[in-house]
């Protein structure tokens, strides 16, 4: 399979909202926020913050992201590996989010890629859509939200 943007799936904010509220999700997942300074003023609860500006220039930082995605996502008792849903986003998921998702996908070794350990997604509409869908003010799924920055 080719490692192109066609290999990446999209996830709607409502689907991610349900996943975040589910105490026992069907599959492990992690949200990767690749915004830079616009990370201030709110973010999806429990996300990993890996700014795209650094990811695109630093292979070691990309490896740190991979390790962060792998940590605490597989139950120790699991006999088979369940793919980790890696959900990338930026403010609108038009440039940095998709670019980071593709960069991550292309950083995988052949074994990692072929094993299917990672499923790469992009959050439709990014954090701006997340906020406009009404999840910005929901403290169960959003942290450090500053309403005046997003109105």
**Cα–Cα distances in angstroms (integers) from residue 25 to residues 19, 40, 57, 64, 149, in the given order:** 6, 28, 33, 24, 31
pLDDT of residue 118: 92
Strand spans (E) along 1-151: 9-11, 29-33, 43-44, 48-49, 84-89, 118-123, 142-143
pLDDT of residue 20: 96
Say if pTM beats, i.e. exceeds, 0.75.
Answer: yes
pLDDT of residue 2: 66
- CA separation for the pair 118, 59 (Å, rounded): 18
Task: List domains and CATH numbers for the chain.
Answer: 5-142 (3.40.250.10)
Residues of the chain with pLDDT under 70: 1-2, 72-80
pLDDT of residue 77: 41
pLDDT of residue 74: 53
Q: What is the pLDDT of residues 125-141, one digit of tens each?
A: 999 999 999 999 999 99
């Amino acid at each position: 399979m080719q490692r192109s943007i066609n290999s990446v799936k999209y996830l709607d904010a409502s689907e991610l909202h349900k996943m975040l509220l589910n105490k026992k999700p069907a599959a492990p997942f992690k949200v990767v926020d690749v915004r830079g300074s616009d990370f201030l003023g709110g973010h999806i609860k429990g996300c990993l913050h890996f700014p795209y500006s650094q990811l695109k220039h630093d292979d070691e930082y990309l490896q740190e992201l991979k390790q962060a995605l792998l940590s605490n996502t597989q139950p120790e008792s699991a006999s088979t590996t369940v793919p980790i849903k890696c959900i990338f986003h930026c403010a609108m998921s038009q440039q940095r989010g998709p670019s980071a998702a593709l960069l991550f996908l292309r950083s995988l070794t052949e074994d990692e890629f072929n094993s299917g350990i990672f499923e790469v997604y992009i959050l439709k509409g990014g954090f701006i859509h997340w906020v406009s869908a009404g999840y910005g003010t929901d403290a169960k799924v959003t942290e450090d939200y500053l309403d005046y920055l997003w109105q």
